[in-house]
Amino acid sequence: MSLVDAEQQQTGTASVRDVVAAYVALTKPRIIELLLLTTVPVMFLAARDVPDLWLVVATMVGGTLSAGSANALNCVVDADIDQKMRRTSRRPLPRHQVSTQRALVFGLVLGVVSTLWLGMFVNWLSSMLALAANVFYVVGYTMLLKRRTPQNIVWGGAAGCFPALIGWTAVTGELAWAPVVLFGVVFFWTPPHFWSLGMRYREDYAAADVPMLPSVASSREVARQIVGYSWVMFATSLALWPVAETGWFYPSAAIVLGVIFLVEAYDLQSRARDTEELSIIKPMRLFHLSNAYLALLFVAAAADPFIG
C-alpha cells in the first residue's frame, strides 16, 4: 500500500491532491527556497563562470531532498508544540493530515535518498555535509537546544549555513575559506532574521514553553542583540572580498545592502526602546528585509565574476 493510499484510508475523504499537498507541506518549501538561494549562487562563485547545468540540477535536487527530510523530521519532533502555536497549528501533523509514524518514515526516506543522490551524482563530500546539516538541525537544534536555551537559534541556526559549503564543494570537491566566510554570514544573519519573526510570535513561543529569546526577554534587549549580530554579519560579509578575491561589484553591493540592513536594525531598536507594543515595534519589517538582504548578497557574489 502506498503512502497516498494509506493516508486516504486513514482520513477517509482526503483526495490524492490533498495527501500529496500534506506531504509537501511537511518539507516546508519556503525554507527550502531560501536554502537553495544560498547554494546555487555559491556554485557560480566557485566556478567563476556558469557551472555545469547538470551539476546545478543534481545539487538542487539533492539539497531539496535533504532539507525536506530535516524539515519533515522537525515536524515530527515538534508536533506537540506546533499544535499550541498559531503560526504552526495548520501544519499537517497538528491537523492530522499525516500520521506521526508515516511522517517519520517519509523524513527518514528523504534523508537516505538525498545522501545517496548527492554522493552518486555530485560528490561524497557534499553528501556528507548535507547529512551533517540534517542531523544537526534535527538532533542538535530541534531535540537538544530549542526547548532548553534562549540561544537556541544562535547555535541551532548553524544547520542553515551548510548550503554555502555544499554549493562550493559541489563544484570544487573541496572546502576553502570563501564558503566558510559565507557560512559565517548566514550564521550571524540568522539571529536578526529569526528573532524579528520571534518578536511577532512571542506569545506563541511562550504558550508552547519554548524559550525563544523574544518570549523570555524584553523587546529592548532583543533589539539590542539584533543590532549587535547585524554589525558582525556586515563585517563578515565584507571579509569575502579579500578571501575570494572578488572584483568591485560584490563589496559595493555588500556595503549598500549592509548599511540598509543596519539602518532598519537601528530603527527597530529605536522603536523597541520604550514599548512592547508590536504595532509600534513592527518587527516584520526587518524580517522581510532580511530575506531580501540575503538573497541579493548571494546573487551579488554569484554575479561578481561576470561584472567585477
Calculate ∠ Cα 51-52-53, nearest 5°: 105
* Amino acid at the residue 148: R
Distance, C-alpha 137 to centroid of its chain: 10
Report phi then psi at 294, rounded to 5: -65, -40
Tens digit of each residue's pLDDT (9 = 90 or more) over 134-161: 999 999 999 999 999 999 999 999 999 9
pLDDT for 127 equals 98
Calculate ∠ Cα 292-255-156, nearest 5°: 55
Tens digit of each residue's pLDDT (9 = 90 or more) over 191-248: 999 999 999 999 999 999 999 999 999 999 999 999 999 999 999 999 999 999 999 9
Task: Please list, in sequence order, all residues whose beta carbon lies within 8 angstroms of the beta carbon of residue 122, skipping any fewer than 6 positions away.
Answer: 55, 58, 59, 62, 170
Q: How confident is the model at residue 1 (pLDDT cuts 50, 70, 90)?
A: very low
Continuous segment of H or E residues that includes residue 57: helix 53-77
In this predicted structure, the answer to whether residue 10 has a pLDDT above a threshold of 60 is no
Whole-prediction pTM value? 0.93
Task: Please list, in sequence order, all residues whose beta carbon lies within 8 angstroms of the beta carbon of residue 105, skipping any fewer than 6 positions away.
Answer: none
Distance (Å, rounded) from C-alpha 20 to C-alpha 180? 37
Tens digit of each residue's pLDDT (9 = 90 or more) over 235-289: 999 999 999 999 999 999 999 999 999 999 999 999 999 889 998 999 999 999 9
Longest dimension (CA), the chain: 60
- Domains of the chain (ranges; CATH) run 1-149 (1.10.357), 176-308 (1.20.120)
Distance (Å, rounded) from C-alpha 135 to C-alpha 139? 6
